[in-house]
């Protein structure tokens, strides 16, 4: 990487080492070594093992399950860095945990997305990078620069390469409609929306499908698959309404609790996710295909380091789709 070598530092915790290694390889640099271990009482220790004085440091650490552990690990690494006089610390958080608690819907509820933003700032983070926040407004919780990266052109290219016919993009709830609409606009396909009710936390009751899905290739779009209740119930409903094939495109594969069993049983042909979260072996079922964010992330880090705009990259990606 020429002049970038030695000036740019890339480190990672234990949340997603494989993504960090892939990004480092693309940037032609080595990961800065970090000694991370736990004391017998569970407290986390982190020490950066080489000088970062005057450097631009990027920490790749999603706050994925275990969210509390990985968040604390990130905060402690930031504190260790802050005391070592770097030029700038950028927290690259591909999956931003706690982002779903972004507002009060009942009395005496927390807004933990705001709390985590303030914790990162207090620890000493100068900039934050995320992918596909649950709601884009979470960016407003930061008083430091933040980039929420859009994966729409990556998804569009992937779908076009599969040469699927008679596509309809389906939002599994109203909140996912903007994502479905954005992707449909690029590929020039219609959308449908599943009318979902959630009587209690974690319980989904699907009522209706708005839009035509009969004999179509339905692609469900969402940002997170957690317990997979929403996605699988939506898939059953689409099948009932006559969809020919059903696939899923979701950015963050949290896949907690009964998710894998539900996805295995559901009438879903393929599930496309990204590597914002590292999948353990027990979750790597045949239906799940992983799209790497490393090419886009490495280009974003390179441009953030150089101080060059990211918009040019997106323009090229969209121009490529038009050809």
In the DSSP assignment, the letter for residue 5 is B
Cβ-in-10-Å burial (0-12, 13-18, 19+) of 247 comes to: buried
In whole angstroms, give the CA distance from residue 124 to residue 315.
Answer: 33
Specify whether 17 is catalytic: no
Collect all residues with Cβ–Cβ distance below 8 Å to 34 and sequence separation of at least 6.
11, 12, 13, 46, 47, 48, 49, 77
In whole angstroms, give the CA distance from residue 229 to residue 297.
Answer: 30
In whole angstroms, give the CA distance from residue 39 to residue 60.
Answer: 23
In whole angstroms, give the CA distance from residue 79 to residue 262.
Answer: 40
Cα of 162 vs its chain's centroid, Å: 22
Q: Return the axis-axis angle of helices 311-322 and 294-306, rounded to nearest 10°.
A: 140
Distance set, CA 129 to CA 73, 142, 147, 148, 296 (Å): 17, 11, 5, 6, 12
Whose CA is closest to 59, among 19, 97, 28?
Answer: 19
In whole angstroms, give the CA distance from residue 252 to residue 226.
Answer: 8
Could you say which of 9, 196, 216, 302 is catalytic?
Answer: 196
How many CB atoms within 10 Å of residue 256? 13
179 in the Ramachandran plot: left (φ > 0), alpha (ψ -120 to 50) or beta? alpha
Q: Are residues 23 and 297 in contact, defined by beta-carbon separation less than 8 angstroms?
A: yes
Whose CA is closest to 8, among 305, 266, 235?
Answer: 305
Q: Which residues are catalytic?
A: 196
């Amino acid at each position: 990487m020429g002049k970038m070598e030695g000036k740019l530092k890339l480190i990672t915790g234990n949340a997603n080492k494989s993504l960090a290694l892939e990004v480092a390889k693309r940037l032609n640099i080595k990961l800065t070594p970090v000694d991370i271990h736990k004391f017998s009482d569970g407290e986390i220790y982190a020490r950066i093992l080489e000088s970062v004085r005057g450097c631009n440091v990027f920490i790749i650490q999603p706050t994925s399950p275990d969210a509390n552990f990985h968040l604390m690990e990130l905060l402690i690494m930031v504190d260790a860095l802050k005391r070592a006089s770097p030029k700038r610390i950028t927290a690259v958080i591909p999956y931003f945990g706690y982002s779903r608690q972004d507002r009060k819907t009942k009395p005496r509820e927390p807004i933990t997305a705001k709390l985590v933003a303030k914790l990162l700032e207090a620890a000493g983070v100068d900039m934050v990078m995320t992918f596909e926040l649950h709601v884009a407004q979470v960016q407003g919780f930061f008083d430091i620069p933040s980039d929420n990266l859009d994966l729409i052109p990556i998804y569009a290219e992937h779908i076009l390469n599969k040469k699927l016919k008679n596509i309809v993009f389906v939002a599994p709830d109203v909140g996912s409609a903007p994502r479905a609409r954005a992707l449909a606009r690029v590929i020039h396909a219609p959308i449908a929306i599943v009318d979902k009710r959630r009587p209690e936390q974690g319980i989904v009751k699907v009522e209706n499908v708005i839009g035509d899905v009969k004999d179509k290739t339905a692609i469900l779009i969402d940002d997170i698959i957690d317990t997979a209740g929403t996605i699988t119930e939506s898939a059953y409903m689409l099948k009932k309404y006559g969809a020919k094939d059903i696939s899923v495109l979701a950015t963050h594969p949290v896949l907690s609790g009964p998710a894998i069993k539900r996805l295995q049983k559901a009438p879903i042909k393929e599930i496309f996710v990204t590597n914002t979260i590292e999948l353990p072996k027990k979750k790597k079922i045949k239906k799940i295909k992983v799209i790497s964010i490393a090419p886009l992330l490495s280009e974003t880090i390179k441009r953030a380091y150089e101080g060059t705009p990211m918009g040019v990259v997106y323009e090229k990606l969209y121009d490529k789709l038009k050809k």
